[in-house]
Structure 1
Amino acid sequence: MPILLIICLILITPLASAATVTNISNSPESVSPLLPGLQAPALTLKNSQGKAVDLETLYKNKTSIVVVYRGGWCPYCTRQLKGIQAIESQIASLGAQIIAISPDSPDALAKSTIESPNYLLLSDNEMAYAQALGLAYFLDNKTATAYRNKLGVNFVDLDGNDRVALPVPAVFVIDKKGLVQFQYANPNYKVRLDEKVLLAAVTAASKL
């Protein structure tokens, strides 16, 4: 990946919003996820109560597993979150925390059945974090229409155009310095990271 592009990915400001298209690809196959060794975006997002949460502060507290998913409406995402929740005690024993981030609104997050002091759900409903990570992409019109009509997904149009975007599902392990130590992103949303591989990555990062 060109150095200039990498720099652009990590310098998107917290003011980026769904109405500001700064880094959205035209397909899931063409996204450029943030690479290991780079600084993770330190934005401010909202939790299920609508309260602001500073990611930089969270990074400093513990090794962080950041799970970027498409939304609570996605069955593959729900299965992934439950799988990670099943190994939560092992993750906690390694001194790590789980931060799951999606385009869902705070109100939608409040309906989640995942409740844990070590498992935080955050809203990226303006797609700023997904863009900063290089994961955002536009849906083709056919897919966007199907999602809206069949799933009732509430997407925000971007730049006044009737185009909608989602993040490619991804998992990052971020150390206390805010550096990405591990990254997994797959444009095929049906394929998710195995929990055993995740535990190995967290174990390695926790020793740094």
Structure 2
Amino acid sequence: MSVLVAMAVLVSSPLARAATDLADNAMEVKPLLNGMSIPPITVKMADGTPVSLQALVMQKPTIVLFYRGGWCPYCSRQLAGLKDIEADLVELGYQVLAISPQSVAMLQEQKLETEFAVNLLSDENLDAIAGFGIGFYLDEDTVAKYKGYGISLTQDSNGRAVLPAPAIFFVDQKGVVQMSYVNPDYKVRPSADLVLAVAKALRAEN
């Protein structure tokens, strides 16, 4: 499925959904669908302050972006690309919230080393990743591979490593998903130009 097709459908009716279980692999994730409401979730800001994701979303239309971590070059490239459309998104009234399973300490290091035009949030408890239905377990071979690279992965309460499938959710101020893009292939990301085009289209609809 192409990026354009994956982001092409709008659903207006707000449907609620409870937090989901983590998938056994990236191909089996079951993300929130267009028209569904985001679950009540608490994430942490870079300084460690807990904050309600719903409260943040109520402030203005939001682009919720899930990424694997600052160690991921594909994620870093995607986040950095948003700087090119930052002014346009602000003019349209959007805020961008980038959520990863990284710890607060790792998030602080990332903020010091980079200049992303987004709000970086920690989901080290994996509540948002599970609630949005994009989290999955890694097999032991993959965990060993990442460990060999010096990458420390967040684990669930049973000690199993978890990552999110990279995803973007366009959410209105009522917490309803207007459009989304989720791809189990972490190397494939929508361009900044496409993100801006979708943002413009949604604002025109509303």
Counterpart amino acid of residue 149 in structure 1: G
The 3-state SS of whatever aligns with 1:58 is: helix
TM-score normalised by L of structure 2: 0.86
Counterpart amino acid of residue 90 in structure 1: D
Distance 2:202 2:40 in 1: 19
Give unpaired runs (5+ residues) of structure 1.
1-6, 13-21
Q: Tell me the CA shift for residue 10 of structure 1.
A: 2.7
Cα gap change, 1:185/1:86 in structure 2, threshold over 3 Å: closer, same or farther? same
User: CA-to-partner distance for each residue in 1:40-93, whole Å, 9 max, x for gaps?
Assistant: 223111111001122111111111001100011111100010011221111101
Identity %: 38
Provide the residue aligned with 2:84 in structure 1.
86
Q: 2:49 aligns with which of 26, 30, 51?
A: 51
Q: 1:188 aligns with which of 179, 185, 195?
A: 185
Work out the number of aligned pairs and report it: 189
Distance 2:53 2:157 in 1: 26
TM-score normalised by L of structure 1: 0.85
Distance 1:146 1:43 in 2: 31
Q: Tell me the CA shift for residue 103 of structure 1.
A: 0.4
Provide the residue aligned with 1:40 in structure 2.
38
Q: Determine if contact 1:73/1:153 at 8 Å carries over to the other structure.
A: no
Give unpaired runs (5+ residues) of structure 2.
1-14
Q: Tell me the CA shift for residue 166 of structure 1.
A: 0.5
The 3-state SS of whatever aligns with 2:163 is: strand
Cα gap change, 1:201/1:104 in structure 2, threshold over 3 Å: closer, same or farther? same
Which 4+ runs in 1 deviate beyond 6 A? none
Distance 2:183 2:171 in 1: 18
Distance 1:203 1:114 in 2: 27
Q: 1:11 aligns with which of 2, 18, 35?
A: 18
Q: Determine if contact 2:153/2:161 at 8 Å carries over to the other structure.
A: no
Counterpart amino acid of residue 137 in structure 2: F
Counterpart amino acid of residue 186 in structure 2: Y
User: CA-to-partner distance for each residue in 1:113-149, whole Å, 9 max, x for gaps?
Assistant: 4457x62110001111010111011111100111122
User: CA-to-partner distance for each residue in 1:4-58, whole Å, 9 max, x for gaps?
Assistant: xxx8x8323xxxxxxxxx5111110111111111102231111110011221111
Counterpart amino acid of residue 74 in structure 2: Y
